[in-house]
Amino acid sequence: MTDETETLDALGLLCPLPVLKARKRLKSLPAGGLLRILADDPAAIIDVPHFCTEAGHTLISADSSNGQQIYLIRKSN
């Protein structure tokens, strides 16, 4: 596992772009790597957790404030 967290700025992107960009970024991370996603697409509230479940990644947290969402994902093995 790694302690480094990469950030994906998906602000202003609409479905399905936040999830597609997250998938691409996660491919380059080592197993156990962390990805923080910043999003403001209302569909991301459903799409990101669903993507994590389907891909086998762990959604560590999902927070929202002022119309902005922040997701923290740990890459599976």
Which of 6, 11, 15, 16 is flagged as catalytic?
Answer: 15
Pairing mode of beta strands 58-65, 68-74: antiparallel
What b/e sequence results for 39-65 when a residue is b if at least 16 CB atoms lie within 10 Å of its CB, and e otherwise?
Answer: bbbeebeebbeebbeeeebeeeebeee
Active site residue 15: yes
Active-site residues: which are they? Answer: 15
